[in-house]
Amino acid sequence: MSSTEFAHDTPAVQTRRRVGAEIWIVLGLSLGKSAVYAVVNIVARLTAGPPLAEQTATLNPSQSPRPYLDLTYQLLSIGFGLVPVALALYLLSGRGRDALARIGLDRSRPARDTAWGFALAAAIGIPGLAFYLAGRAMGITVQVQASALNEAWWTVPVLVLSALQNGLLEEMIAVAYLYERTSDLGWDRVKFVVASSVLRGSYHLYQGFGPFLGNVVMGVVFSWFYTSRWGRRRVVPLVVAHTVLDVVAFVGYALLPASWRDLL
C-alpha cells in the first residue's frame, strides 16, 4: 500500500493500525521478546543431545561472587524489568483519568482483591506443581532451579522483589494491558483469552513442555477470571496471586535442603 493510499484511510483504520503497532512494540520490549528467546531456547535444548529431563534451567541466578555487587546487579535487573510495566501504564493513562481505575489499579477494594489473589494462588499452585512433576516424569520438562543466589542477608528480600516483579510484569502486560488494547481492536473475550494464555505459555517454553502447558492453563484461568463478573477487570488479584506463587517457589526452593531439591 502506498503512502498516498494510507493517507486516505479512515481515522478508524489508522487508529487500529496504531494500536496494533503499539501492542507489538510493548510486547517486543517485554514478554514477546521473552517468548521468542524461549522458543529458540527450547529448540536449542531439543537439539543439544541430552534429553530435556537431564537439562537444567536456573531462575534468579547469582550474577557475581561478590555479595554486594551481586545485590546491585539483582536490584538493577528487577528495576529495569519493570520499565515495560511503566510504559504500558503510561500508554493506558493517555485514555483519561479513569484509565488505571478501569484495570483495577486503585485502593477501592484492597481486602477483596487480596482475598481473591490468595484464592487464585491456591487454585493454581497445586495443579502447577503437578504439571511440573508430570513433565519431569515424562521427560519433557527440564529441572528448574528456582533460585541459585548465594546465601546472604538480602537473599530472601531479593527473591520476594523478584516475585513481585514477575507478578507485575506478566499480569499487567499479558492480561490488563493486552485486554484493553485488544478490546480497542474489537477482539471478543475468547480471542483475548486464547492469545493471552498462549503468550504466557510461550515465554515459559525454555523450561520444557510441562511448564508450557501448565502456564497456558494458568493463563486461561487468570484471563478468564479477569474478564468475569468476579474479577471485574481488576488486575490486583492476579498480581497478588502470581507474587504469592513465585514467593513460595523462590523462597521455598532456597530454603529446602539440598537432598529435597534433587527430588525436583
Buried-exposed string 197-227: b where 16+ CB fall within 10 A, e elsewhere: bebbbbbbbbbbbbbbbbbbbbbbbbbbbbb
pLDDT confidence of residue 263 = 61
Q: What is the mean pLDDT of residues 196-216?
A: 96
Q: What is the mean pLDDT of residues 139-143?
A: 95
Residue listed under C-alpha cell 481473591: 116
Judge whether residue 245 has pLDDT over 70: yes
Question: Residue 259: pLDDT band by 50, 70, 90 thresholds?
Answer: low
pLDDT confidence of residue 10 = 82
Question: Residue 97: pLDDT band by 50, 70, 90 thresholds?
Answer: low
Question: Residue 7: pLDDT band by 50, 70, 90 thresholds?
Answer: low
Judge whether residue 4 has pLDDT over 60: no
| Tens-digit pLDDT profile for residues 11-28 | 788 889 999 999 999 999
| Better pLDDT: 72 or 93 | 72
pLDDT confidence of residue 254 = 84
pLDDT confidence of residue 241 = 98
At a CB cut-off of 8 Å and minimum separation 6, what does 29 contact? 83, 84, 87
pLDDT confidence of residue 262 = 65
Amino acid at 11: P
| Tens-digit pLDDT profile for residues 36-54 | 999 999 999 999 989 999 9
Q: Where are the domains of the chain?
A: 3-263
pTM comes to 0.93
Task: Work out the mean pLDDT of the chain and round it to a whole number.
Answer: 92
Q: What is the mean pLDDT of residues 146-175?
A: 96
pLDDT confidence of residue 258 = 67
Say if CB 39 and CB 202 are below 8 A apart: yes
Mean pLDDT lowest among 2-6, 41-45, 174-178, 246-250: 2-6
| Better pLDDT: 103 or 260 | 103
Buried-exposed string 116-138: b where 16+ CB fall within 10 A, e elsewhere: bbeebbeebbeebeebbeebbee
Q: What is the mean pLDDT of residues 181-207?
A: 97
